A and B are shown apart, each in its own frame.
Chain A
Amino acid sequence: MIKLENVSKSYGNQHVISGLNLEIPDGGRLAVMGRSGAGKTTLLNLIMGLTKPDSGSVFMPESKRIGTVFQEDRLIERLNAVANCKIVMPKGAEENRIHEVLNSLGITEELSKKPVSELSGGERRRVAAARMILSEPDIFILDEPFKGIDSETLPKVISAVSKEAIGKTLILVTHSVSEAEALGCEVFGI
Chain B
Amino acid sequence: MKASTTPKADYKKYIYKALAVAFWIVVWEAVARAVGSDLIICSPYAAFRRLTELCVTPKFHSAVAFSSLRILSGFFAALLLGIVCAAISSKFSVVRILLQPITSVIKATPVASFIILAIIWFGSRNLSVFISFLMVFPVIYLNVLEGIDSADRKLIEMARVFGIGPVKTLIYIYFPQILPFLISGCSVALGLCWKSGIAAEVIGISSGSVGEMLYRAKLYFETGDLLAWTAVIIIASTLFEKLFMLMLRLIQRKIEGAGK
Contact = CB atoms under 8 A, between A and B. Distances in A.
Interface in B138-192: 154-155, 157-158, 160-164, 168, 172-173, 176
Contacts of A131: 162
B259 interface: yes
Interface string A118-138: 000000000000010001000
Interface string B237-260: 000000000000000000010111
B161 A66 contact: yes
B157 A50 contact: yes
Contacts of A74: 154-155, 157-158
Given A87-B164, A88-B162, A135-B162, A82 B157 contact: no
Nearest to B259: A83
Contact of B259 (A65, A68, A86): A86
Nearest to A65: B163
Contacts of A68: 161-162
Contacts of B155: 74, 76
A157 B259 CA distance: 24
Contacts of B160: 49-50
B162 A67 contact: yes
Interface in B86-130: none
A76 B162 contact: no
Given A67-B162, A88-B164, A135-B162, A115 B260 contact: yes
A65 B176 CA distance: 27
B133 to A, nearest CB: 35
A78 B260 contact: yes
A82 B170 CA distance: 19
Given A48-B161, A83-B258, A87-B168, A76 B173 contact: yes
B50 to A, nearest CB: 51
Among B155, B256, B259, the most chain A Cβ lie within 10 Å of the Cβ of B259
Interface string A65-96: 11110101010101110111011100000000
Nearest to A88: B162
A79 B162 contact: no
A163 B204 CA distance: 75
A20 B176 CA distance: 40
A76 B161 contact: no
Contacts of A48: 161
Contacts of A135: 162-163
Contacts of A66: 161-163
A13 B134 CA distance: 47
A49 B258 CA distance: 30
B260 A72 contact: no
B255 to A, nearest CB: 9
Contacts of B163: 65-66, 88, 135
Contacts of A83: 258-260
Interface string A19-37: 0000000000000000000
Interface of B: 154-155, 157-158, 160-164, 168, 172-173, 176, 256, 258-260
Interface of A: 48-50, 65-68, 70, 72, 74, 76, 78-80, 82-84, 86-88, 115, 131, 135
21 contacts: A49-B160, A50-B157, A66-B161, A66-B163, A67-B162, A70-B154, A74-B154, A74-B155, A76-B172, A76-B173, A78-B256, A79-B259, A80-B259, A83-B258, A83-B259, A83-B260, A87-B259, A88-B163, A88-B164, A115-B260, A135-B163
Given A67-B162, A70-B154, 20 more contacts: A49-B160, A49-B161, A50-B157, A50-B160, A65-B163, A66-B162, A72-B154, A74-B157, A76-B172, A76-B173, A76-B259, A78-B256, A78-B259, A78-B260, A83-B259, A83-B260, A87-B164, A88-B162, A131-B162, A135-B163
